[in-house]
Structure 1
Amino acid sequence: MWGCVRPSDLKPWLAALVLTGAAALSAPAGADPRPARVVSINLCTDQLALMLADPGQLVSVSRLAHDPSSSSMAEAAKAYPTNGSGAEEAYLLRPDLVLGGTFTSPATVSMLEKLGIRVELFAPARSLADVPKRLEQMGKALGQEDKAADMIARFETDLAALSTAPDHRPRAALYYVNSYTVGDQTLAGDILRAGGFDNVAVEAGLSQGGTLALEKLILLDPEVVIEGRDYPGQSRAEDVLHHPALHALTGTRVAGTVTDRDWICGTPLVLSALRNIRDLRLSLEAGE
């Protein structure tokens, strides 16, 4: 039977399906304007929503939310079912709001919107100053403006206390697997700056992310190299973190794995990362 149906005959049926879905999700007059069923399909919106949503308001988080190596709120997220960040799976959860990132697949966003579902997209944080902006955006999306305002005030107070300008700013490099580093126009770079370090990636001409060859790093001769996480398993990309030339630098401290999940998303949890960096600088000053 389906082989005899012309594409033009399906158009009214598809339109009716979209309209039916939209009507089912629309709120009646006088209802609470806050979304009642929120689905997050992005690691960073998972954490922002977990911080601000009312009990029962958030119904699903992305699979990465349960991964303790990626999510700073993995334990809290275990109370929520996960989704695979696809449009079909999100739609079946009957959300009235889906939270995603600006790098979420455009096809996913388009399909959800065509089905009448509101989608709120969040850009990645590029600096510590972006954290209050993301909290404010999430507060508005969830109808939790007061909670967001309180959290922003606490964040800004704690950030100011941790960001005291030092008399001397040591030169540091953030160094990850495959010789990757980041400059000052990134969240990690801004954490490094606020913690009292100058970033040698800027001297190498990198303002965002890019490759910093080991030979170049050695010539830059930073006072400290802050290594990224060494992932389980074996990969040649990780060899650079264990290269003898790196650990033979005189006058350079190689600081194990300092960068972790607290550096990934623009949430108040970045304060933990900033505190670790500040403490590292203070230990250098103390000659420890």
Structure 2
Amino acid sequence: MALSGVPFMAACACGSTKAMRRLLPLLLLLLAGCAPAGEQRQGGIVSLNPCSDQLLLALVPAGRIAAISHYSQQAGATSVPLDVARGLRSTGGTAEEVIALAPRLVVATSYTPPATRAAFAKAGLRVLYLDSPTTIAASKAQVAELAHAIGAEARGAAINARIDHAVAGARWSGAAVPALLYISGDLANGAGTLLHEMMQVAGFRNAAADYGLAMTGSLPVEIILTDPPAVILSPDRGGRTAALRRRLLERTDADTREVTFPRELVNCGGPTIPAALARLAAVRRQVAP
């Protein structure tokens, strides 16, 4: 290693106090440049959930985020553009990884295991545990809570204003149309969810609730054949399960319309709500009156 063409060891052996004083700033800059990337990111925010990943990126510059969840770097789980997510550091969510980053704040979920919570507490980390909101109001409250925790209240208020605007623009006052929203395969969105409320706002009746499905669960085509919905929203119209469902419904002469509902719109609330409501409202206008 050399500094300005002078061998490092030779420079240190020169014995000149004045020379060492001149070299010291250069040495400090060199050592800082050689520091591991993880150490450079210490003190930021670590997120352990793809939904908080998305919300964080909407609230703060990427430079404030020390790490996101590994889920956001997977095409089927992310609500963040993959090129953005893959440009950030990620963790597997283990306590050891997170503690090593020495973050100023960890954004975790209410499902975090007790052992991991205990490890965070022992390490003296500041942790915000977020649940999965099941209503638009709860999602807005979560946006405000995280925004306050990271000093981004103005951006949080702007996100919530966009949500309010989207709700007003999507609201349908006519008769509700029975619809099913499949998340993937035969996994459907049931009653008591954020998507359930958004469907209602946009003028749909969640047929999964009519079939007795609460929250999210499997809804095989055999169950819906006797009383098919008017609309099926699905992210994977080309999938095998969707193709089988389509063929069976056609044999019953069911007047069921199938439309695409992008996978990235079903994962999270917060910043996703305006886009999800806009898509639901567009579909509802297609099947009017």
Q: TM-score, normalising length from structure 1?
A: 0.77
Say which one has the larger Rg.
Answer: 2
Q: For 1:121, which of 129, 132, 149 is the aligned residue?
A: 129
Residue 227 (structure 1) aligns with: 234
Residue 160 (structure 1) aligns with: 168
Residue 28 (structure 2) aligns with: none
1:44 aligns with 2:51: yes
1:101 aligns with 2:109: yes
Q: TM-score, normalising length from structure 2?
A: 0.76
Residue 253 (structure 1) aligns with: 256
Q: For 1:273, which of 261, 276, 280 is the aligned residue?
A: 276
The residue identity in structure 2 corresponding to 1:73 is V
How far apart in 2 are the matches of 1:262 and 1:70? 11
Equivalent residues of 1:187, 1:263 under 8 A apart: no
Question: What is the CA deviation profile of residues 214-256 of structure 1, one whole-angstrom value per residue up to 9, with x for unaligned ones?
Answer: 2220112211122243798xxxxx5365242134343433424
Structure 1, unmatched stretches of 5+, are 1-34, 233-237
How far apart in 1 are the matches of 2:238 and 2:146? 32
Distance 1:155 1:90, change over 3 A: same
Deviation, 1:116, is: 0.6
Equivalent residues of 1:134, 1:266 under 8 A apart: no
Equivalent residues of 1:170, 1:197 under 8 A apart: yes
- Equivalent pairs counted in the alignment come to 246
1:68 aligns with 2:78: no
Residue 208 (structure 1) aligns with: 215
How far apart in 1 are the matches of 2:163 and 2:280? 17
1:123-202 to 2 correspondences below 5 Å: 123-163=131-171, 165-177=172-184, 179-202=186-209
How far apart in 2 are the matches of 1:212 and 1:175? 9
Q: For 2:241, which of 230, 239, 242 is the aligned residue?
A: 239
| Identical amino acids, percent of aligned pairs | 25
Structure 2, unmatched stretches of 5+, are 1-41
Q: For 2:85, which of 65, 77, 84 is the aligned residue?
A: 77
SS at match of 2:253: coil
Deviation, 1:161, is: 1.5
SS at match of 1:99: strand
Distance 1:208 1:55, change over 3 A: closer
